[in-house]
Structure formats: C-alpha cells, structure tokens
Amino acid sequence: MKNLAAVSFASVLFLGSGANIAIAETSASLGSKYDGFAEYAKENQMEKSDVSCFINKCGDQTKQLFSNPRGIKGVSCLGRCKGEQSCATRCFAEFGSEDLNNWLSCTIEENECVKVPKNIDNSAENKGYDTAIKNFDPRILIGKWYKTDGLNPNYDLFDCQSNTFEVTPGSEQDASELDMGIFFRVSRPSSSGGGFWENALSEHMVVDAVRGGSNPSGRTMHTAGKMYGLSFDENWYILGQSDGKGEVPPFVVVAYKGHTLQGNYEGAFVYAKEPVLPDAARPAVQEALAKAGLDFDKFTRIDNTCKPGNALNDDAAGTGTLTTDWIDLVVGEGGVIDWVIPGWRGEYKK
C-alpha cells in the first residue's frame, strides 16, 4: 500500500476513517480511553458481521492467530483504534506478523467476515496533475532518498523516513520497473515511556512514463499489492525534480492518490538526498507544487534526526501478559470479542 507516503501505507492502513487524530495509546491498561467502540461498530455496520465465517471460512487463519499471544494483542490494539490510521500503524509496528496479515486478508477482504464500509468510487485517484513531468527518467530515483517534507499527517509524517530505489531485475534496459525499500519509525508518546518502533517494508513500482500506452490520468508510475494484509492501489505523479547537476540540489516532488477497499487517500511529499531539504532547493520545490495547486507552506518538515536508541520492536512482544490484562484484551471494550462478535453485550438491541 501505500509506502506510507500513503504508509505510502497503509495503510488506509485499517478501516480508514480519514480522521486526523493523534496517535492513540494502545496498552491494555489504558482501555478506559477507548470508549465508544460500540458506537463506531454500529456506525460502520459491523454488527452485521458473519460470526460463523471466522471458523467456517477462515478457521486455519483464526486458529493460527489466536494461538499466538502477540496476535490477540494485535487484534485488540486495532479494535481500540476505531479506524484511526496512525494508531493502526503503531499497532502493526508493535504487534504485526504474517499471522495477523493473513487473518486480516481472509476475514476482511476475501470473505467479509467483518463488514466494513467500502468506498466503491475510486475515480478520484485517476484525476491527475496536468503539471506532472511528461518525460520523467526513472533512473533519477536510483539510490537512497530522504522524505524531508510531507502533506498528509496520516501517511507522510512518520519519523526517520528514507526510501531506496533499485531497478527490478529484468527491466534494466529502460528502468520500467523499480523496487522500493521503505524505512520509517513510529514514535511512542513520551507519556508512555517514549522510544520508537522501526518498520522496514518494500513496494514494487511500475513506471508508466516509459511504457507508453493508455494512461488517461497522466500518472508517472503506480503500485499495487498488499500491505498488512489489505490490498491497495496507488498512482504517483512526479511534479518536479532536480538532478543536482546545476545550482539546485537534487530533489523530487511526488503527489500520490490511491485507495484500499475501505476508502480513498492522497497526499504529497518531497525527496532530497539530505535529511533536511536544502534551502537552495526550496524555491524550485515551491514552484513545482504551486503549479499543481499545492502550497508548500502547508507541508510539515519530517523529523529525520533518527535519534540514537534501541528500537522497541520485539518478535516476542506480548507473550508475558498478565491475566488481568488478558481479560481486558479479550472482553474489554474494543477487545477481541467486540471485534469478532460486535454487539455481544446486547448494545444493538437497545
């Protein structure tokens, strides 16, 4: 998905609500902060979920997930986010696994065990930018770039972001396909002890600018696939660039539009070869964005200081949970039972 430029992720990342909310706490001990899950489930028609589907159609995935304490924490964490993307990204950073990805893919996309709102109109992503570079050479992207400034707070503003591009084997002649490595951090609020989780992902990009054929949106490149078990499609539009051979330092301006089965998303960001966009490149970046109807003053600088410290990532995270925490994770509001059987307390009979 989204390389988290849109979590390029995403992203989008889970039951996307589009809300711009600060990252929520996810510890079971803070469960009282997650009130309102029943209302959220009701609003999104989750009470219509097919309970038998979890066993009859996704039995193997469900058994595999819930035999792992990490999996139960992941599901409860996502339920308590109530669709907020930044919170969901943190859940995946803390509790993500192939078991969780497989379960989400089976229960949400493949069999619709959980009923979620679906935006069937994805036409907006094909309304591109007339100012996108017409003869973009993808080779300019080869190597490592920092994301220095971003527009969408849900997808673009994670700390310590870098992308590394290389030509996909077999397409060396025209660099018509690129493999992109993605790295970013998800910070834990200082009120919860601080620190960060690290994410390393990958995406495969197809470059439309060198392939010719039908391209009504004028997109520069596109990507599609699955991230965190959920499908996504995303178009990229290169709005400006410098190869660094003149007086302007290297930069690339990217706008993107995409969708998952749960909704649409879009944003924009700036690449540079340095963690902070050089001042000498700012006028050219501002001009490229202005031509596309975007205002650089609305972008936020990304924190690429990458402060030293040990990442909180732990493959065994969640295996030492106390009994009282397990009770909250399973039957607490936004917990596993709320997820699998929304309304089991009788909320929708009132």
Per-residue pLDDT reduced to its tens digit, 68-98:
777 777 777 777 666 566 677 777 777 777 8
Encode pLDDT of 108-117 as tens digits.
778 888 766 5
Whether residue 282 contacts residue 297, with contact meaning beta carbons closer than 8 Å, is answered with no
Distance in angstroms (rounded) separating the CA atoms of residues 228 and 231: 8
Q: What is the pLDDT of residues 316-325, one digit of tens each?
A: 554 444 444 5
Q: How far, CA to CA in Å, does 261 sit from each of 75, 120, 279?
A: 19, 8, 40
Average pLDDT over residues 11-33: 32
Kindly report the pTM of this predicted structure. 0.71
Question: CATH topology for 123-301?
Answer: Lipocalin (2.40.128)
Q: 3-class SS at 264?
A: strand
Q: Where are the domains of the chain?
A: 28-119+319-349, 123-301
Average pLDDT estimate for 272-277 = 98
Residue 1, pLDDT score: 40
Q: What pLDDT does residue 92 have?
A: 75
pLDDT at 3: 40
User: Distance between the two ends of the chain, CA-based, in angstroms?
Assistant: 39
> What is the spatial distance between Cα 133 and Cα 266, in angstroms, rounded to a whole number?
19
Calculate mean pLDDT across residues 123-139. 85
* Residues 270 and 299: beta-carbon distance below 8 Å: yes
Least confident residue range of 208-212, 255-259, 308-312 = 208-212
Q: Which amino acid is at 74?
A: G
Average pLDDT, the chain: 76
Q: Name, of 23-32, 214-223, 256-265, 269-278, the range with top average pLDDT.
A: 269-278
Q: How far is CA 293 from CA 69, 193, 324, in A?
A: 48, 41, 53
Q: What is the CA radius of gyration of the chain?
A: 21
Which residues are CB-contacts of 214 (< 8 A; sequence separation ≥ 6)?
none
Q: Can you tell me the distance from the alpha carbon of 87 to that of 11, in angstroms, rounded to the nearest whole number?
A: 11
- The partner residues of 166 in beta bridges, in order of sequence, read 179
Return the C-alpha torsion angle 328, 330, 332, 338, nearest 10: 170
Q: What percent of the chain has pLDDT over 70?
A: 65
